[in-house]
Amino acid sequence: MDPAGLKRGEGSSVIKSKKIEELDNSSVKLTISVKKDFIQKQYDELVAEYCKTVRIDGFRKGKVPANVLLRKFGDTLLGDTTERVIRSSLDKVFEKVEQKPISTSTPELDTKKDLELGKDYTYSVTFDTYPKIELPEYKGQSLEELQVKVSDEDMDRELKALQEQNSIVIDKKDTTVLTGDIVNVDYAELDEKDEEIAASKREGFVFEVGSGYHLYKIDNELVGMKTGEEKIVAKDFGEDFEFKELAGRSVKLKVKLNAVKEKQLPEINDELAQDISDKYENLEDLKKDILEKLEKYTKQKIREHNISQILEKITDQATIALPKSMVESELQDQWRLFVSRLGGEEKPVLQQLETEGRSKEQILDEWRAGAEKKLKLQLVVNEMVKQEGIELEENDIEERIQKEADAQNISFEEAKETMNRNNYLEFLKHDLKNEKLYDILLDGGPRKKGKKVKFLDLVQGNY
């Protein structure tokens, strides 16, 4: 017997009727009535299997009379038959109907009456389906293109960054912390009893004071401390703080300064350029290369902004009834990432939220609008790729793999093997299809000159 419990051509002898009722949020209710003859057949086959395999005292294996079996396992046999009938009939119906459960949805079974031999059996399942997506006219959308020019100031900043990267870190004689020093610190959040919260504890964390490269942004609080000193730091974070886990919170941190080092910077000259790479003969060669990279980056960022404008317009005008299970699955993914960033254990995170008068449910509700917007955007893009019939050629994939290989200075074969091993190849294909779609969306639409933006603001998204 096949997994559905049905032989070829047997479907007409199984299903008496089926009805699909569309509900809200892309959910459907599927009602199926199964013929009594098929139910009897499933029951008889199950009884035969039991007779062959069940052991009952006083009878040899395979020799248990059916009437004895029915007295002892009657309810179990009916329960198992019900399960077989539902599974078999569902599989058969799903072969024919368009609406099928999506991966995030677990069908809910509704059986108003128990299965009875000699009678047809009717039951219902409710589940979420892939939503219907109604798109507006998406080609030829207008956009305003940002005006960005790389300046001398941008060049100086890049050179100073290279100067920093090629600096030497040495022990500091005066261990008083100043902005620009490299520090090694231990820290942990404190609860209401001033006890350390284990999930937040870090030891030997190294960063440059003034860089802001720290979850709690304690740069200013470290200035003036000396090696071996400990202090309690109080921090208030606004509702718009960049890290969700701290937004709107007030925290106390216990901080210990373990070590302080300082940097020695090289001069920005021909020698620095030659130290950075053999391909540079002098500083002018380095500057030319920097300018080419900055201009290439600028074009890419402007393209991304153009795409974002168009996609936002299309998504706002599209009609999509998001399935609840799809939204809940996205929120749970975000929650797992949230917990992971706070140490990976959910219990202490929930305890910390409780001390702040908040709950997991409140956090998820705050994220819901963003999750829905993200899902709608993904669905809109997928639908446009489908409508445009976008497919990839083998050389499309090979060119991208080669590009990745060149960037990592490895062979084509090594890059492809790494992608296969990390299941990145499918993501790559999806990304390539989207890029082909974006080319279509950007082609032919009216463009206006947008506002002038500094390169640094473009990088930081301040526009």
Question: Does 60 score more than 70 pLDDT?
Answer: no
Question: Does 61 score more than 70 pLDDT?
Answer: no
Residue 71 confidence class, pLDDT cut points 50, 70, 90: confident
Mean pLDDT of 94-122: 92
The C-alpha angle with vertex 35 and arms to 33 and 41, in degrees rounded to 5, equals 135
The CB-based long-range contact list for 360-368 (8 Å cut-off, 24+ gap) reads: 360/335, 363/335, 363/338, 364/331, 364/335, 367/244, 367/331, 367/334, 368/327, 368/331
DSSP E strand stretches across 354-442:
none
Question: Does 26 score more than 90 pLDDT?
Answer: yes
Residue 435 confidence (pLDDT):
96
Looking at every residue in the chain, the average pLDDT score rounds to: 91
> What Å distances lie between residue 391 and 135, 142, 230, CA to CA?
20, 26, 60
Residue 199 confidence (pLDDT):
87
Mean pLDDT of 226-244: 93
Residue 343 confidence (pLDDT):
82
> Which of 254, 189, 196, 195 lies closest to 225 in space, CA to CA?
254
Residue 1 confidence (pLDDT):
34
Mean pLDDT of 134-146: 95
Query: b/e map of 280-318 (b: 16 or more CB within 10 Å)?
Result: beebeebbeebeeebeeebeebbeebbbebbbeebbeeb
Mean pLDDT of 89-111: 93
Residue 6 confidence (pLDDT):
41
The rounded percent of the chain whose pLDDT value lies above 70 is 95
Per-residue model confidence as pLDDT tens digits over 265-316 = 999 999 999 999 999 999 999 999 999 999 999 999 999 999 999 999 999 9
pTM, two decimal places? 0.73
Torsion angle of C-alpha atoms 151, 157, 162, 163, degrees rounded to 10 = 130
**AA identity, residue 308:** S
| C-alpha of 174 from chain center | 46
Question: Does 39 score more than 60 pLDDT?
Answer: yes
Residue 113 confidence class, pLDDT cut points 50, 70, 90: confident
Question: Does 7 score more than 60 pLDDT?
Answer: no
Residue 356 confidence (pLDDT):
85
Question: Does 5 score more than 50 pLDDT?
Answer: no
Residue 3 confidence (pLDDT):
37
Residue 57 confidence class, pLDDT cut points 50, 70, 90: low
Read off φ and ψ for residue 153, nearest 5 degrees: -60, -40
Contact present, 237 and 248 (Cβ < 8 Å): yes
* SS3 state of residue 343: coil
Question: Does 58 score more than 50 pLDDT?
Answer: yes
Residue 70 confidence class, pLDDT cut points 50, 70, 90: confident
What DSSP string runs through 179-217? TT-EEEEEEEEE-TTS-B-GGG-EEEEEEETTS--STT-
Q: Which of 230-239, 320-329, 341-350 has the lowest mean pLDDT?
A: 341-350
**AA identity, residue 161:** A
Mean pLDDT of 442-446: 89
Neighbours of 60 (CB within 10 A): 8
Question: Does 11 score more than 70 pLDDT?
Answer: no
Question: Does 424 score more than 80 pLDDT?
Answer: yes
Mean pLDDT of 179-204: 93
Q: Domains of the chain by range and CATH?
A: 11-130 (3.30.70.1050), 133-166+268-321+390-463 (no CATH), 168-264 (3.10.50.40)
Residue 4 confidence (pLDDT):
38
The rounded percent of the chain whose pLDDT value lies above 90 is 78
Place of tokens 């990839």: 392
